[in-house]
Amino acid sequence: TVHALERDSQSISDPTLKDLLPFEIAIHHAGLSRADRSLVKDLFSGGSLSLLISTTT
């Protein structure tokens, strides 16, 4: 799954999210692009993240 997360991180536009994703950590907030938010939701729903830090978006 780490390789998949590294691959997914290549399409991320937010630099902080891109840096965190290979460590199975993600952030989710209104400032992310729609594509980044969607990917984070999919990764979380699929059990690919160890830690998700989120605001109420």
pLDDT tens-digit readout, 4-30: 667 777 789 999 999 999 899 999 999
Strands (E), the chain: 25-28, 51-54
pLDDT of residue 37: 95
Domain ranges of the chain: 2-54
Residue 3 CA neighbour count, 13 Å, CB half: 0
In angstroms, rounded to a whole number, what is the distance separating the alpha carbons of residues 10 and 30? 20
Q: Indicate whether 49 pLDDT > 90.
A: yes
How confident is the model at residue 18, as a pLDDT?
Answer: 92
Region 41-56: mean pLDDT is 94
- Residue 3 is predicted with a pLDDT of 67
